[in-house]
Amino acid sequence: MRAYRTELDWIDRVENTSEDSESDAELVHQSITRGPVQIVRLSYNGYDLPPRASNPKAEAFGIISQLIDFKKHRLWRGGSLVYEGGHPKASLAITDLRDEWSCHHLSPFDNVRFVIPSSYIRDFARDVGRPEFHDLRCPAGTQDTVVLGLATALLPVLGNPQSGTTLFVEQIILAMMTHLAQSYGGLHFPSRLKGTLAPWQEKRAIDFLSAHMTGDFSIDDVAKACELSRSYFIKAFKETFGKTPYRWLIEYRVARAKDLLTSEMSLAEIATACGFADQSHMTRIFSQVLGTAPGHLRRFMQRK
C-alpha cells in the first residue's frame, strides 16, 4: 500500500490521474469549517482510486455517513488491515483520530464526514449538564438515518458554501452533537418531564456530586440538597440521566481521570484526586468503563 503524505497529495494524485486517462470518473471533495468542526463531502464514481492518505493524528473523532451503498473498500488502522468489505447507505462509522487510519476505495462511494475535536464534545456535554461524558462508541455495522438526514441537509452548503448561513450550519452541528452524545456517548436526555428532576434540581445534583467526588456522602445528602425524598430522588435521577447516581459518579470520575492523564500527575495522584480508593481501584474501574487501563491510554497518548 502506497502512503501519501497528506490528503492534498492524495487528491492531487487522483485529479492528475483522471486528467491523464480517458476515464469519466470524477473525485468530488467539498468542505466547510464552522468553529472547530470540519465537514467534508468526498465522492468518486470510479473504481481506480489509489489508497487514501492516512489521517493526521488528532484528539478528535471522525464521523462518517455513507450517502449511497459502498460496495467495497479496505481499511487500515495503524498500518494493520482491520476491515475489507462494504457498507450500505446510511452506515455510520465513528473513528478515534488518535489512531492512524487509511482507506483504499475499491468501488464508487459518496459520504459526508465530520471531524469533531474531543474537547469540543466534552465542552458540549458539560454545557448541557452531562459532565460524565468520556467517549463515543459506535458498533460495527451501525446504520443511522438521523446522521444521514443531517449530512444530506448540508449538501447544498457543501456544494456552495456561500449559500448557507452560519446559524443553519451551527444548528445542524448542535443536532449532530446531541444525537451522538445520546446514541453513542452514553448520555441521556429525557423526552418527557414527568418524573424527572426539575432543571434547578438537575443542576444542584450535578454540582453536589461533582463537588463531593472525593468525599464521603450518602444518597440522602444529595436528595436533601434537591429537597426530595431519597426514594423519589433516585427514581427521578435515573429518569433524567438514564443511570443511577452511583453510576453517574463512577463515569464522572473516569472522565476526569482521563482528562488528567495528559498532566504531569502520577497515576496514584490522579486516583486520589478523582475519588478512587487507590491506583488499583482506579485501574479496575477505568478498564471496565473504557475498555483499557489508564496507564496504557497514557502511553498511547504520549506516543502521538
Domains and CATH numbers, the chain: 7-184 (2.60.120.10), 199-302 (1.10.10.60)
Closest to 98 in 3D by CA, of 114, 117, 82, 113: 117
Sheet of strand 70-77, all strands in order from the earlier edge strand to the far edge? 80-87, 70-77, 101-105
* Angle formed at CA 164 by CA 52 and CA 58, multiple of 5 degrees: 35
Three-class SS of residue 275?
A: coil
Per-residue pLDDT tens digits of the chain, which is 304 residues long: 444 445 555 555 555 555 555 557 788 899 999 999 999 999 999 888 888 878 888 889 999 999 999 999 999 998 899 999 999 999 999 999 988 899 999 999 999 999 999 999 999 988 888 888 888 999 989 999 999 999 999 999 998 887 767 888 998 999 999 999 999 998 887 766 778 898 899 999 999 999 999 888 899 999 999 999 989 999 999 999 989 999 999 999 999 999 899 899 999 999 999 999 899 999 999 999 988 899 988 887 777 5
Q: How far apart are CA 158 and CA 42, in angstroms?
A: 10
pLDDT in tens, 192-249: 677 889 889 999 999 999 999 988 889 999 999 999 998 999 999 999 998 999 999 9
Whether residue 269 contacts residue 226, with contact meaning beta carbons closer than 8 Å, is answered with no
Three-class SS of residue 4?
A: coil
Three-class SS of residue 27?
A: strand
Q: How far apart are CA 277 and CA 160, in angstroms?
A: 55
Q: Which pTM was predicted?
A: 0.73
Host H or E run for residue 39: strand 37-44
Backbone angles phi, psi at 72, to 5 degrees: -155, 140
Residue 84 grid cell: 475489507
Cα of 80 vs its chain's centroid, Å: 22
Question: Amino acid identity of 163?
Answer: S
Residue 131 grid cell: 459532565
Residue 180 grid cell: 451522538
List 81's β-bridge partners, or say none.
76
Q: How far apart are CA 166 and CA 114, in angstroms?
A: 16
Q: How far apart are CA 196 and CA 208, in angstroms?
A: 17
